[in-house]
Structure 1
């Protein structure tokens, strides 16, 4: 696979991956266990950290490419170099992968409709 300067995923565990069709960056706040709303309706968020979550999708993927994508993201934890919307730069962090889905489009043509899953940062900042 060739390097693609426009790919928001620079690498997964140091290896190149196919550029996704959809890349949605998200940030989630992590609140303390005693956070919540009080009886006077005031929210005490008690943010203790933040993590990134990236929603990924590849559309109309060949059987070979789908296998390569799923294998690259299969380890329990992966190091991903990705485009971070908050910093405006590429950064590297450890992620784990959520549920994966690959609905079959056409077995005769050897194409999956898409490969989709989320990657979630393992520890926050």
Structure 2
């Protein structure tokens, strides 16, 4: 079974996860003939993860894990073909409300979504 570990916490597996492999260029220019010259300085990952409806506790656990400025994330990397650990930070976090039940005080989140960007 697939898992995602964020900041040492094994969180509920995302409903959907996309790993973007991006080149980071210090400088990229084209010459007079249109030929591209680039100075690639690194290749980094950006993970977009989204979860299906979550309980209050599940949502809190995931958000607590991404709270630090930088953290380790263990995930399946498509380029390496293995479970990999890298250092990430989190982008904006979105958690739409699915339902409020004032009588039972039970609340449910309609999921959670954010990007993890490699340091």
Quick check: TM above 0.5? yes
Would you say how many aligned residue pairs link Structure 1 and Structure 2? 115
Q: Which residue of 2 aligns with 1:121?
A: 118
Residue of structure 2 aligned with 1:112, choices 109, 114, 117: 109
Work out which of the two has the higher radius of gyration on C-alpha atoms and give 1 or 2.
Answer: 2
**Scaled by the length of structure 2, what TM-score is found?**
0.88
Deviation at 1:41, TM superposition (A): 2.2
Q: Which residue of 1 aligns with 2:16?
A: 22
Provide the C-alpha distance between the structure 2 equivalents of 1:105 and 1:38, rounded to a whole number of angstroms: 53
For residue 53 of structure 2, give the secondary structure of its aligned residue in structure 1.
Answer: strand
**Scaled by the length of structure 1, what TM-score is found?**
0.84
Matches within 5 A, 1:51-70: 51-70=44-63
Deviation at 1:46, TM superposition (A): 2.0
Deviation at 1:83, TM superposition (A): 0.6
List alignment gaps of at least 5 residues for structure 2.
Answer: none
Provide the C-alpha distance between the structure 2 equivalents of 1:120 and 1:38, rounded to a whole number of angstroms: 32
Residue of structure 2 aligned with 1:103, choices 96, 100, 108: 96
Q: Which residue of 1 aligns with 2:28?
A: 35
Deviation at 1:42, TM superposition (A): 2.0
Provide the C-alpha distance between the structure 2 equivalents of 1:67 and 1:39, rounded to a whole number of angstroms: 54
Which one has a larger percent strand, Structure 1 or Structure 2? 2
List alignment gaps of at least 5 residues for structure 1.
Answer: none
Q: CA RMSD in A?
A: 1.4
